[in-house]
Amino acid sequence: MLASAGVEFTTAMPGIDEEAIKAAHLEGASDHSRARAIAEVLASRKALTVAQRHAGALVVGSDQILICDGKIFSKAIDEAGARETLCALRRREHELIAAVVIARDDAVIWKHADSARLTMRDFSDEFLDQYLTSEIPEVLGSVGCYRIEGRGAQLFAHVAGDQFSIRGLPLLPLLEALRGFGVLVR
């Protein structure tokens, strides 16, 4: 998304254990505020881990949490897991919470979180089979096992929220913050 928006950047893997961090913060995680806090903690840990290795650099970190019926979902690791996730979301509304932070050295200097509500339609098992055949392994990188900007759009009956946030990055607020830090021209 950043590249499409004309932002130059380099990537660095933070090398953190997301599942361990999430598990440490899951107690009482059935509400929106707790899920948002988890997304913010994960985004912050990613950004801070990289920022500490690159003195003075502005480092962007982001993460996304999916919550449905009080359960926080994790990314599927294989097709069976993707099938299980999509079956759990079928005919239900879920919330995606996307958090983004900017860190420099040892501090988070800016943060933002956004949420969207999506309702999956009552798709058939035949559609699910076709979907997984065409979308695995790409959707394994998405907590909901879909890419709404592609074939995943067919999974939904209703979507309410920012498309960038649904894809995992609240882009417009991030771009404004980068302009504020002088990284992008105003």
Tokens linked to 113? 């979180």
Window from 3-7, 26-30, 31-35, 94-98 with minimum mean pLDDT: 26-30
User: Considering its fold, how many domains does the chain have in total?
Assistant: 1
Mean pLDDT across 65-76? 92
DSSP state of 151: G
Answer yes or no: is 10 within a domain: no
Answer yes or no: is 3 within a domain: no
Mean pLDDT across 73-80? 94
- In this prediction, residue 135 carries a pLDDT of 97
Mean pLDDT across 30-55? 90
Q: Would the pLDDT of 25 be above 80? A: no
Is 17 a residue of the active site? no
Find the domain containing 78 and state its range.
Answer: 18-180
pLDDT, tens only, 120-169 = 999 999 999 999 999 999 999 999 999 999 999 999 999 999 999 999 99
Band (pLDDT 50/70/90 cuts) for residue 34 is: confident
CA distance 13 to 36: 22
CA distance 139 to 118: 17
Answer yes or no: is 140 within a domain: yes
Answer yes or no: is 133 within a domain: yes
Give 41-46's long-range contacts (Cβ < 8 A, gap of 24+): 42/16, 42/18, 42/99, 43/99, 43/100, 43/101, 43/111, 44/101, 44/103, 44/108, 44/111, 45/14, 45/16, 45/21, 46/14, 46/16
Answer yes or no: is 167 within a domain: yes
Name the percent of the chain lying above pLDDT 90.
84
Residues in the chain: 186
CA distance 12 to 80: 30
Question: Which of 17, 63, 106, 114 does the annotation list as catalytic?
Answer: 63
89: CATH: 3.90.950.10
Answer yes or no: is 27 within a domain: yes
Answer yes or no: is 170 within a domain: yes
Answer yes or no: is 128 within a domain: yes
Q: Burial, 69: exposed, middle or buried (Cβ in 10 Å; 0-12, 13-18, 19+)?
A: exposed
CA distance 9 to 14: 15
Tokens linked to 98? 């996307």
Q: Would the pLDDT of 73 be above 90? A: yes
